[in-house]
Amino acid sequence: MLPLIKSLIVVFALALTVSAEAQTAPVTLDRLVSMERQKALGLDKLSPEQRAGVVRLLLEAYQQGLQEAKKPAAANPPRPSSSPQSAARTLSVIETQIDGDFEGWEGETIVKLMNGQIWQQTEYNYTYHYAFMPKVLIYRSGGSWKMKVDGVDKAVGVEQLK
């Protein structure tokens, strides 16, 4: 799941950088994502209709972003980022590493990250997995946050302590 989320973020970022010249030619998944990356993510197994659907989804998200950016400043107030907590609340995805050893989820596991943030497990899950400084992806899921640790199959609910 982690690589798929990362790749969709990368694809979306690439869609944002499509130049005016490139927009005259049809936008395809092959133009946005290398074949190596597509194979790694399983995107090469999609049908032509599914591939076109992924491209349409990305372009629609891009258009929505453009519309939001064009709104008057009052409708798009600057987001506060004076503290790690408020900065995390304004981001939709946080990508970093655990600072040190990770031994899995034990019910109320506290995780210190390389970016200085500290998060605590809020969702019931007991999983043993040892890793030294694994990569993590923290993302919004409904009204809460989930943390996906490299090498662990399931993302677990977390809350930010610091």
Examine the pLDDT at 126 and tell me if it is beyond 70.
yes
Contact predicate 91/83, CB 8 Å: no
pLDDT recorded at residue 144: 86
Instruction: Dump pLDDT digits (tens) for 20-38.
Output: 444 556 777 777 777 887 7
Q: How far apart are CA 74 and CA 1, in angstroms?
A: 37
The pTM for the full model equals 0.46
